[in-house]
Amino acid sequence: MGKVLSADGTKIAYSVVGDGPPLIMVDGALSHRGFGPSQPLGKLLAPHFTFYSYDRRGRGETGDGETPWSIEREIEDIDALLQLAGGSAYLYGISCGAALALEAAERLEGFTRLALYEAPFLVEADSHPGRPDDLIEQIDAMVAAGHPGEALKTFLRVIGWPGFLVTMMVFTPAWKKVVAIAPTLPNDLRIVGDNASGKPLPTTRWMNVKMPSLVMNGGKSPGYLHTGMRSLAGLLGSEYVSIPGQTHIIKPDALAPVLIDFFSRAQRTAGPIA
Does the pLDDT at position 127 exceed 80? Answer: no
Q: State the pTM of this model.
A: 0.95
The model's pLDDT over 55-91, given as tens digits with 9 standing for 90+, comes to 999 999 999 999 999 999 999 999 999 999 999 999 9
Average pLDDT over residues 254-270: 88
- Beta-carbon contacts of residue 79 (< 8 Å; ≥ 6 apart): 6, 7, 104, 108
**Which band of pLDDT confidence, cut at 50, 70 and 90, is reported for residue 159?**
confident
Q: pLDDT value at position 128?
A: 77
Q: What gap in Å lies between CA 265 and CA 143, rounded to an integer? A: 44
120-129, 154-163, 173-182, 253-262, range with greatest mean pLDDT: 253-262
> E strands of 213-270, at which residues?
213-218, 239-243
The model's pLDDT over 83-103, given as tens digits with 9 standing for 90+, comes to 999 999 999 999 999 999 999
Q: Write out the CATH class of domain 2-126+194-270.
A: alpha beta
The structural domains of the chain, with segments of one domain joined by +, span: 2-126+194-270, 128-190
Q: What is the pairing mode between strands 2-5 and 11-18? A: antiparallel
Q: Which of the pair, 266 or 99, is modelled with greater confidence?
A: 99
Does the pLDDT at position 258 exceed 80? Answer: yes
Arithmetic mean of pLDDT over the chain: 94
Helix (H, G, I), strand (E, B) or coil at 93: strand
Does the pLDDT at position 273 exceed 60? Answer: no
